[in-house]
Amino acid sequence: MIKRLVLLAVLWTAASAQALTAAEARAIATGETDARIEALNKAVAAADDKTAAFIQALVDDAVKVAGEKILVVKDGKGFDPVSGAEVPLPPDAEDVINNNRMRGELDTAMAALKLFSKDEKLRAEAVATLRNESDESRLPLIEKAYAAETNSRIKEQLGLVRAAVLLGSADQAKRIEAAKLLAKSNNPATKTLLIERLKVETESDVKATLEASLRSVEASLAWGDKVGAIFSGVSLGSILLLVALGLAITYGLMGVINMAHGELMMIGAYATYVVQGLFQKYLPGAFDWYLVAAVPVAFAASALMGAVLERSVIRFLYGRPLETLLATWGISLMLMQLVRSVFGAQNVGVENPSWMSGGVVVMGNLQLPWNRIVIVGFAFAVLLGMAFLIARTRLGLFVRGVTQNRPIAACMGVNTARIDTYAFALGSGIAGLAGCALSQIGNVGPDLGQSYIVDAFMVVVLGGVGQLAGTVYAALGLGVLNKFLEGWAGAVLAKIAVLVFIIIFIQKRPQGIFAMKGRSAEA
């Protein structure tokens, strides 16, 4: 609290500032709520650093009343809010009680005072707090801050706050001016403000201006909704892409129907959770970097489990899709029960590092979360890495050779059994990376993989079995389509519509978006 008081001492620099008086302090702290609010507004309109500090003390419930005296309590000691001198704290001093209405007024007053801070971030936060302000008594302070503001973006937002206050003015010309200014806003609160004003407005000229501004704001918000839906679709598509990339190898290239793919994702997510716990316990100062360490650990844990599964079970079932499906389904149940036994049946929480918290405000009704942005970038980085590995490395050449013509590859000296293990481990490791990414947008639990396995198979089949480009197009296309349909028909009907679309598409084009070319496609 002391730091906050010191900060407030340097916030107020207005030329018309006047010193806080004992009468003002008593009027703000005691009496009926309406009278206290009136006194507060008068004090804020011409405040000094002591006024700001006193208001902050009221916000912090650090003000007491002892008879006619008003005292600010700090570190168990009493201080006079006017002189700042230490005053003995009487034993019968009572706390100043602030109801919800008074607290809201105090918070708004503090936001108004922060408009004069040298810190742009504090000024931006103050403007955001005052966005719904409609009390005309705040106008002189807002006008003064508007005239002194140097940051163009903050000044624009402050102008909208000024317009919102003017909208309640008794002057018809000011209301028309305010309505025209608010037409530039893209904030949902502005739409609500215009609608509420339309209900009580009586002048036809003002009403017409308000209606025109409302249409403009609604059009701007509609664009925000569309851009938000596209981003949500790309975000969902990037997650589906991460999930499906592993299947593009194990199913698309190797032909293994791996029903345990979702559980390999789950292992990657739990590996991330374990790394988080280790950093919290042994390296708390470096916690923001735990995710960087978790990425290779998640890949290694899932890849190792995939290699074990391939060597112990799946290698004996190549060319027998039904037996592979049943065996991997049984393995998925075993892995889920293993996780329940080790970590418990309840979901566990994985925290975002500080650099993945918050988001980028693009429009008033559109904020892009950093964790989603990072996951989109991560998905495409994994895609590029996998494309390079398959197309440009010796291992990728062997994998393509074995999957296209196993006997000829063996005749050329390729150890096909080892390549099968490497390929399956690679696909499993990518599933682990998907689990690592999913841990940043939701809870981690034993059933994590079950939510995505069907969608992942649909992506691979729709894109074209064995086609990496098809997987990308299918994942992003289904993600965007699903989000647009959700906004129109709801989540359940959107899922059904997407499934029907895939069924019809596969009926018309069984090979998917991209068909495999060459003699291997005819085999």
Query: What gap in Å lies between CA 146 and CA 105, rounded to an integer?
Result: 21
What pLDDT score was predicted for residue 3? 37
Q: What is the pLDDT of residues 491-520, one digit of tens each?
A: 778 888 888 888 888 888 877 776 555 444
What pLDDT score was predicted for residue 433? 93
- E strand or H helix at 342, and its extent? helix 321-343
Q: What band does 14 get if pLDDT is binned at 50, 70 and 90?
A: very low
Q: What is the dihedral of CA 18, 20, 25, 28, to 10 degrees?
A: 20
What pLDDT score was predicted for residue 184? 78
Mean residue pLDDT of the chain comes to 82
Q: Which of 144, 133, 344, 372 is nearest to 236 (CA)?
A: 372
Query: What gap in Å lies between CA 179 and CA 163, rounded to an integer?
Result: 7
Q: Are the C-beta atoms of residues 452 and 243 closer than 8 Å to each other?
A: yes
Query: What gap in Å lies between CA 155 and CA 113, rounded to an integer?
Result: 16
For residue 214, with 0-12 CB atoms within 10 Å meaning exposed, 13-18 middle and 19 or more buried, which class applies?
buried
With a cut of 80, say whether residue 153 has pLDDT above it.
no
Mean pLDDT of 423-439: 91
Query: What gap in Å lies between CA 294 and CA 340, rounded to an integer?
Result: 21
Query: What gap in Å lies between CA 276 and CA 442, rounded to an integer?
Result: 15
Long-range contacts of 324-330 (CB under 8 A, 24+ apart): 324/256, 324/257, 324/258, 325/257, 325/259, 328/256, 328/257, 328/258, 328/259, 328/260, 328/261, 329/259, 329/260
28-37, 47-56, 246-255, range with greatest mean pLDDT: 28-37
Query: What gap in Å lies between CA 13 and CA 144, rounded to an integer?
Result: 11
What pLDDT score was predicted for residue 518? 45
Q: Which of 258, 249, 267, 250 is nearest to 329 (CA)?
A: 258
What pLDDT score was predicted for residue 515? 59
Q: Are the C-beta atoms of residues 326 and 453 closer than 8 Å to each other?
A: no
With a cut of 80, say whether residue 25 has pLDDT above it.
yes
What the block records as the tokens of 273 is 């959770």
- Largest pairwise CA distance in the chain: 101
Query: What gap in Å lies between CA 383 and CA 437, rounded to an integer?
Result: 14
Residue with tokens 């062997």: 398
Q: Which of 44, 45, 50, 64 is nearest to 20 (CA)?
A: 50
Query: What gap in Å lies between CA 134 and CA 142, rounded to an integer?
Result: 11
Helix, strand and coil content of the chain, in percent to the nearest 5, comes to 70, 5, 25
- E strand or H helix at 388, and its extent? helix 370-392
With a cut of 90, say whether residue 464 has pLDDT above it.
no
Q: What is the pLDDT of residues 79-117, one digit of tens each?
A: 888 888 888 888 878 888 888 888 888 887 777 777 777
Please give the radius of gyration of the chain, using alpha carbons only, rounded to the nearest integer: 32
Amino acid at the residue 289: W
Q: Are the C-beta atoms of residues 139 and 166 closer than 8 Å to each other?
A: yes
Query: What gap in Å lies between CA 274 and CA 440, rounded to an integer?
Result: 14
Query: What gap in Å lies between CA 461 and CA 435, rounded to an integer?
Result: 21
What pLDDT score was predicted for residue 307? 93
Could you give the residue ranges of the DSSP H alpha helices within 131-284? 139-148, 152-166, 172-182, 188-200, 204-247, 261-282
Q: What band does 18 get if pLDDT is binned at 50, 70 and 90?
A: low
Range 233-521 classified under CATH 2.60.40: no
What the block records as the tokens of 400 is 């393509």
For residue 222, with 0-12 CB atoms within 10 Å meaning exposed, 13-18 middle and 19 or more buried, which class applies?
exposed
Does pTM top 0.95 for this prediction? Answer: no
Mean pLDDT of 266-282: 94
Query: What gap in Å lies between CA 266 and CA 271, rounded to an integer?
Result: 9
27-41, 178-192, 418-432, 468-482, range with greatest mean pLDDT: 418-432
Query: What gap in Å lies between CA 105 and CA 43, rounded to an integer?
Result: 13
What pLDDT score was predicted for residue 335? 92
What pLDDT score was predicted for residue 135? 63
Percent of the chain with pLDDT over 90: 18
Residue 255 φ/ψ region, left for φ over 0, alpha for ψ in the -120 to 50 degree band, beta for the rest: left
Least confident of 88-97, 294-303, 398-407, 506-515: 506-515
What pLDDT score was predicted for residue 265? 92
Backbone φ and ψ for 133, nearest 5 degrees, come out as -70, 135
What pLDDT score was predicted for residue 4? 42
The DSSP bridge pattern shows strands 359-363 and 94-95 to be unpaired
DSSP conformational letter for 251: I
